[in-house]
Amino acid sequence: MVDFLSDVHLEASEVATFNAWGHHLNTTPADALFILGDLFDVWIGDDTQDPFHLQCMEVLRATVKRMPVFFMCGNRDFLVAKQWLQSTGVQGLQDPCVLKFAEQKVLLSHGDALCIDDTDYMAFRQQVRSSAWQEAFLAKPLSERQQIAKDLRAQSKARQQTQIDYVDVDASTARMWLKENDCNLLIHGHTHRPATHDLGNGLIRMVLSDWEADATPPRLEVLRWTQELPQFTRISFST
């Protein structure tokens, strides 16, 4: 039994979401957990040591003692690095990567790299994923990084409000990724549009939900794989 989740967007002000996430990790019967990006609403470096993030790390350390936990960076927490992984015991994943279990191969991704029609974001993504940008950013004092991250989030929210349609995954690119990796199923997050899409020719795209406990109704969902049919089930729960 394997649980997949993404886009939890943990932050200190969202106490109910943190509690729901922690409760799930403490009680899930899963044998493994895959977190496909944006676990944190923002991550400005592995030297982050505020009480809230330390509390998140304690939850993960406790979970790792019971089952393997895998993490893939998202567009909000792409600066999670080796220090954080080593200190929590969480295992890092490349984006995309192929998961083999039972007789099935599944392609995993956060999903943002597939939203190719969002040209402004793709240019920004290329910039901030470069080693030069990251080295320069991480060399800045923590307080300066916090302000930069705050400004970038404000710009992102303002930009999203001007978009009539939220950019989605490009279907042809998703099909290409699946064929290149010899997979029939893609699981990803990022778009906050949980659904299952038929891409044709036996190719499937399954989208994970974002998490928000204070929404009406609450959005708290994992995608669970089991050996029984149906193999994939969406598990929703409330706080």
Domain with residue 193: its CATH number is 3.60.21.10
Number of domains present in the structure of the chain: 1
CA angle (224 as vertex; 166, 25 as ends), nearest 5: 95
Instruction: State yes or no: cis peptide before 218, omega within 30 of 0.
Output: no
What is the pLDDT at residue 151? 86
Q: How many CA atoms lie within 13 A of 81 on its CB side?
A: 12
Q: Is residue 138 part of a domain?
A: no
Quote the distance between the C-alpha of residue 34 and its chain's center: 9
pLDDT band, residue 230 (cuts 50/70/90): confident
Q: Is residue 145 part of a domain?
A: no
Residue whose token pair is 């030297």 = 47
Q: Is residue 140 part of a domain?
A: no
Q: Is residue 25 part of a domain?
A: yes
The rounded percent of the chain whose pLDDT value lies above 90 is 85
Give CA separation, 238 vs 82, 175, 213, in Å.
Answer: 33, 34, 7
The rounded percent of the chain whose pLDDT value lies above 70 is 96
Residue whose token pair is 């994970």 = 208
Q: What is the pLDDT of residues 25-43, one digit of tens each?
A: 999 999 999 999 999 999 9
Q: Is residue 35 part of a domain?
A: yes
Structural domain range at position 177: 2-116+167-236
Helices in 28-81 by DSSP H: which ranges? 51-64
Q: Where are the beta strands (DSSP E) in 7-103?
A: 32-36, 69-72, 91-93, 97-101
Statement: the pTM of the whole predicted model exceeds 0.85:
yes
Q: Is residue 45 part of a domain?
A: yes
Q: What is the pLDDT of residues 53-63, one digit of tens each?
A: 999 999 999 99
Which residue(s) pair with 105 in the sheet?
Answer: 100
pLDDT band, residue 163 (cuts 50/70/90): low
Tell me the average pLDDT of the chain. Answer: 93
Sheet holding 221-225, edge to edge: 91-93, 69-72, 32-36, 2-5, 221-225, 232-236
The two tokens of residue 180 are 């290149």
Q: How many CA atoms lie within 13 A of 115 on its CB side?
A: 23
Identify residue 215 by its one-letter amino acid code.
A
Helices in 101-141 by DSSP H: which ranges? 119-128, 131-138
What is the pLDDT at residue 238? 67
What is the pLDDT at residue 155? 76
Q: Is residue 51 part of a domain?
A: yes
Q: How far is 115 from 121, CA to CA, in rounded Å?
A: 9
Compute φ and ψ for 80, nearest 5 degrees.
Answer: -60, 130
Q: What is the pLDDT of residues 195-221, one digit of tens each?
A: 999 999 999 999 999 999 999 999 999
Q: How far is 127 from 99, CA to CA, in rounded Å?
A: 28
Quote the distance between the C-alpha of residue 78 and its chain's center: 10
What is the pLDDT at residue 228? 84
Q: Is residue 34 part of a domain?
A: yes
CA-based radius of gyration for the chain: 17
Q: How far apart are the first and last CA of the chain?
A: 23
